Amino acid sequence: MVKDRFHDIVRTALEKEGWQITADPYEININDVEFEVDLAAEQLLAATRENQKIAVEIKSFISPSKVSDFHTALGQFLNYRDALEIVDPDRQLYLAVRDPIYESFFKRRFIVDAIQRYQLRLVIYNVQQGVIVQWL
């Protein structure tokens, strides 16, 4: 599947930058909400580099509506970040977005404002070169 391809590209791109993948999928367990059921859909990975710990939510943005994809990405990001605060508070959550999606959609004013308002962290990657382009 396409989304698995993007997942693998991000994983490899992180390794190229010296990150060690410590869990793939990375499962967050909260006692009263079954995140793992959901994680089957679009899975997180966890990585470390020196004393940094991150979790990465990889969104493919392949549905016909980028706005719908953004709703889901935003809600998932906030829920995962809130869950991480409980179970793994030192781990920073990032949303991984392909560079054409970032350029065409994430630079629109409404989306820029949402990213600012909800303090989303982004990692932009390039599919052809298989590299991380930018951390935001």
Using CB under 8 A as the criterion, which residues of the chain lie in contact with a second copy when the complex forms? Answer: 30, 32-35, 37-38, 40-41, 64-65, 67-68, 70-76, 78-79, 82-83, 108-111, 113-114, 117-118
Q: Which one, of 131, 75, 72, 65, lies nearest residue 98 by Cα?
A: 131
Query: Shortest distance, CB of residue 81 to a second copy, whole angstroms?
Result: 11
The one-letter amino acid code at 59 reads: K
- Measure CA of the first residue to CA of the last residue in the chain; give whole Å: 27
Query: Shortest distance, CB of residue 109 to a second copy, whole angstroms?
Result: 5
Residue whose pair of structure tokens reads 């962290």 in the numeric block: 121
Query: Shortest distance, CB of residue 115 to a second copy, whole angstroms?
Result: 12
Query: Shortest distance, CB of residue 97 to a second copy, whole angstroms?
Result: 15
Smaller CB separation from a second copy, 118 or 135: 118
Query: Shortest distance, CB of residue 18 to a second copy, whole angstroms?
Result: 31
Smaller CB separation from a second copy, 4 or 85: 85
Longest Cα–Cα distance of the chain, Å, equals: 41
Calculate the dihedral angle through the C-alpha atoms of 7, 73, 41, 103, rounding to the nearest 10 degrees: -30
Smaller CB separation from a second copy, 16 or 71: 71
Neighbours of 77 (CB within 10 A): 21
Residue whose pair of structure tokens reads 């630079």 in the numeric block: 107
Smaller CB separation from a second copy, 5 or 71: 71
Smaller CB separation from a second copy, 23 or 87: 87
Residues paired with 45 in a beta bridge: 56
